[in-house]
A and B are shown apart, each in its own frame.
Chain A
Amino acid sequence: MKKFLVILLLAVLGYYIADTYFDIGFGQPHFVKSAAPVKDIYLAKTQNPLKVSNAVTSIVVNFRGFDTLGEVTVLFLAVTVLGSVLYKKRHQVGERSVLFNSSSIVTSGSKLLFPAIILLGAYVFIHGHLSPGGGFQGGVIIATGFLLMLLAYENYSVSHTALSIVESLAGITFAGVGLLGFMHGGTFLQNFLPSGVMNNLFSGGVIPIIYIAVGFKVGAELTGVIYTVLHEKGENNG
């Protein structure tokens, strides 16, 4: 009975949502109808004063940089909540909740793959302003490398102090670059470095610096999340 009600409700909801979007139409240039669409202004400014190749990066880090600072703060808050909800007394930490040992193929294979994964993550966030990718994506790739090591080795441990130092330094770099822009140009997160030549590694002013900081921060935070959840032991209730 409840399932039937839910399906009926979802059918009505789905009909109205889908109908709205079918009216808009897929692939129509519906944001381009006005005389100066916001998309073209963003793209033109990305190409000319900023000289960043990846327009998504220039929007995320430059035009909406303050929003990205808030987003990174939300991520930090999530990690803090995770740590405080799953708190442990100090002597109970250290047992892992995974019940099986990994074979020697997995351990040696992950030892081989780990540096390559870290390198790929670093590549993705250093080239965030040139190619698809960026700080968030590169940080997630780095965290998957640590996940592989944590799953393969039973007593592989990540230092919480090192993680929090990396995270704080990256956050300070982000906010500090913003404050430097305050001093040089008059607004927070103002681009005060020279833009360089388009499609070069050193281009785009402060955008690569901020994205590298974001990459370190996201990588450290996600590794912390994985480590906290993986070392959660189920038996001691309360």
Chain B
Amino acid sequence: MDNTLFGFLDYAVYGTAVLVMLIGLYGAMVKKSLLKIVIGLSIIDSGLNLLIVAIGYYKGGTAPIFSQGFLENFKSVSKMVDPVPQALVLTAIVIGFGVTAVALALVIRLYRHHGTLNIDEIKNLKW
């Protein structure tokens, strides 16, 4: 039972993360509105963060916090999941916020200049 559950999770977690990334890429490539493109970029960010956190997990591991309960019940630190990807994702979230904020500011500026958000109507913005 436990084995089959993990067999399913094995594909589900990575599959979900990759799927979220692909949905974001699709939105960034196909949509016409600049706001939707920025939303697509931030969806890629979310998928990537999920992927990085999922790599650090391993079966039966606990959260990397030396709480009172951990110190009483578990003896060795090897029962903890990897804290390094979590710290990296904390950095990545902040950088993602900065990128989204600057992109939205540029979108506001383009809207002020052109009066539209459709990239077909703005010259030199079509691929």
Contact = CB atoms under 8 A, between A and B. Distances in A.
Contact of A75 (B59, B94, B105, B109): B94
Interface in B1-54: 6, 9-11, 13-15, 17-19, 21-22, 25-26, 29-30, 51, 54
B35 to A, nearest CB: 13
Contacts of A199: 66-68
Contacts, number: 149
A10 B20 CA distance: 12
A32 interface: yes
B6 A27 contact: yes
B106 to A, nearest CB: 6
Q: Say which size band chain A's interface belongs to.
A: 35 or more
Nearest to B91: A71
Judged by DSSP, the binding face of B is helix
Given A17-B18, A21-B18, A43-B64, A81 B102 contact: yes
Contact of A25 (B10, B17, B97): B10
Interface string A63-85: 01001100100110111011001
Nearest to A41: B77
Q: Say which size band chain B's interface belongs to.
A: 35 or more
Contact of B95 (A21, A27, A74): A74
Interface of A: 2-3, 6-7, 10, 13-14, 17-18, 21-22, 24-32, 38-40, 42-44, 46-47, 52-56, 59-60, 64, 67-68, 71, 74-75, 77-79, 81-82, 85-86, 131-132, 134, 136, 198-199, 225, 229, 232, 234, 237-238
Given A21-B17, A56-B83, 13 more contacts: A18-B15, A22-B14, A25-B10, A26-B54, A39-B84, A47-B77, A53-B67, A75-B97, A85-B102, A85-B106, A199-B68, A229-B108, A238-B113
Interface of B: 6, 9-11, 13-15, 17-19, 21-22, 25-26, 29-30, 51, 54-59, 63-68, 71, 77-78, 80, 82-84, 86-87, 90-91, 93-95, 97-99, 101-102, 104-106, 108-109, 111-113, 115
